[in-house]
Amino acid sequence: EAAVTQSPRNKVAVTGGKVTLSCNQTNNHNNMYWYRQDTGHGLRLIHYSYGAGSTEKGDIPDGYKASRPSQENFSLILELATPSQTSVYFCASGPGTGQDTQYFGPGTRLLVL
């Protein structure tokens, strides 16, 4: 079974502060993804990565940066957090080579005050 972990699981941040959400996968998957989930919306893709050193913009990248320092780790960075970024964030990994199934972490609940 795929193993994707996220930290922290819950985070309270102040407006204008910097927030880093971390994701680790032990599946040796090439691709990793960051989504956010809000009431009334499906999961929306923020950033993704094809492998270490690569980051790509997803559908809603504004206000977010991403970093993929290694095959296993993928971070989402909010340089200047805003209340509109209050959400649940999911990380996922996927093989990216003929297989489009994605494996998800448990989510991080972020509250920006």
Partner 1 sequence: GDSVTQTEGPVTVSESESLIINCTYSATSIAYPNLFWYVRYPGEGLQLLLKVITAGQKGSSRGFEATYNKETTSFHLQKASVQESDSAVYYCALGISGGSNYKLTFGKGTLLTVTP
Which residues would be at the binding site for partner 1 (CB under 8 A)? 4, 30-31, 37, 40-45, 48, 50, 56, 90, 92, 94, 96-97, 99-107
Closest CA to 23 of 38, 3, 37, 42: 3
Decide whether 17 or 95 has the Cβ nearer to partner 1.
95
Nearest to partner 1 of 30, 86 (CB atom): 30
Residue located via tokens 């985070």: 11
Taking 3-state DSSP, the helix, strand and coil percentages for the chain, each rounded to the nearest 5, stand at: 5, 50, 50
Q: Across-strand partners of 24?
A: 5, 73
**Residue 43 CB, nearest approach to partner 1 (Å):** 4
Name which of 42 and 62 has its Cβ closer to partner 1. 42
